[in-house]
Structure 1
Amino acid sequence: MAEREDVVLTRDVNVITVPEGNTTTLTKGAIVTIHQALGNNYTVVTDYGHMVRIASEDADALGKESHQLHTLVTETSAEAVEQNCWEVMKTIYDPEIPVNIVDLGLVYYCNAKPSEVYTDQNNVHVIMTLTAPGCGMGPVIQGDVEKSIRALPGVDKVEVEVVLDPPWSREMMSEVAQLQLGLY
């Protein structure tokens, strides 16, 4: 989203502070500026200058509609599930950076393998990192990945492992991301 938009909250809404990752509530009538509306969440700045994230399911408080994630492949083979995992992770954004976590280089590995318990189901293992150790939004982004993958067809179990070695660096970003951020 290139243009900022001021909105008045139509109801109380639970938010996550950025970059700390703490939960709090903004009250009905508060004025916020939409900073980023990418992926499945909104990053807004309060009238006090605090940056917070509002989940898609609370988009109505902003006068917006909830984003709907869709899958590109409805098959439940391990290959199709893995493809869907990569696609859904491309809809997850760092709330401070307008680049998805895949192009940002935060996802190191994703593998789907057939479940030992259920036919037509798969277990998914993701290894990812953070832009900085101790990032308060790390558990939030990790949770977004797990929740989004768990909602895909053909998924039984999801494990999202956060590692700090190797450490993330901007060289891990795709060319598209570097161009988008003016770094290339």
Structure 2
Amino acid sequence: MALREQVFDALRGVEDPELGMDVVDLGLVYDVEVDGSSVKVIHSLTSMGCPAGPMIQEDIHRAASEVEGVEAVEVDLTWDPPWTPERMSDDAKFILGIG
């Protein structure tokens, strides 16, 4: 499995504590960029005032850092485009009763 996919898999272990679901299924992880052994995780939060934001960012950094072959991690929070529930996986929408 490629390093990018390994990082995405690791990020499935990072939970948004308010919604009780992982950040990948919630659609909060926009991209994982890989350059050799360095990775950059581009993500958003469900809202700008998300009280769990700092904890989620720390958990993203930790999860990506624990992937074998990753030596450096950058976590980039973005609001462009803003997160919407449409970014969620079908499973997440079903579990949360959306759409």
What TM-score does the superposition give when structure 2 sets the normalisation length? Answer: 0.93
Residue 134 (structure 1) shift: 2.3
Residue 105 of structure 1 aligns to which amino acid in structure 2?
A: G
Between the aligned partners of 1:82 and 1:127, the Cα distance in structure 2 is 12
Residue 99 (structure 1) shift: 1.7
Q: Structure 1 residue 183 and structure 2 residue 98: aligned?
A: yes
Residue 84 of structure 1 aligns to which amino acid in structure 2?
A: Q
Residue 89 (structure 1) shift: 0.6
What 5-or-longer segments of structure 2 have no aligned partner? Answer: none
Q: Which structure has the bigger radius of gyration?
A: 1
Between the aligned partners of 1:168 and 1:161, the Cα distance in structure 2 is 14
Residue 98 (structure 1) shift: 2.3
Match of residue 107, structure 1, among 25, 29, 47: 29
Aligned to 1:140: 55
Aligned to 1:165: 80
Overall identity of the aligned pairs, in %: 38
Between the aligned partners of 2:86 and 2:34, the Cα distance in structure 1 is 27
Residue 83 of structure 1 aligns to which amino acid in structure 2?
A: E
What TM-score does the superposition give when structure 1 sets the normalisation length? Answer: 0.52
Q: Please give the residue correspondences for 1:72-151 in structure 2 after superposition, counting only pairs within 5 Å.
A: 80-114=2-36, 122-151=37-66
> In angstroms, what is the RMSD of aligned CA positions?
1.1
Aligned to 1:37: none
Between the aligned partners of 1:151 and 1:98, the Cα distance in structure 2 is 22
Between the aligned partners of 2:52 and 2:26, the Cα distance in structure 1 is 15
Which fold has the larger relative contact order, with Cα–Cα distance below 8 Å and residues 6 or more apart in sequence?
2
**What is the total number of aligned residue pairs between the two structures?**
99
The structure with the greater share of residues assigned to helix is: 2
Between the aligned partners of 2:89 and 2:67, the Cα distance in structure 1 is 25
Between the aligned partners of 1:98 and 1:137, the Cα distance in structure 2 is 12
Between the aligned partners of 1:162 and 1:136, the Cα distance in structure 2 is 14
Residue 158 of structure 1 aligns to which amino acid in structure 2?
A: V
Between the aligned partners of 2:51 and 2:92, the Cα distance in structure 1 is 22
Residue 67 of structure 2 aligns to which amino acid in structure 1?
A: L
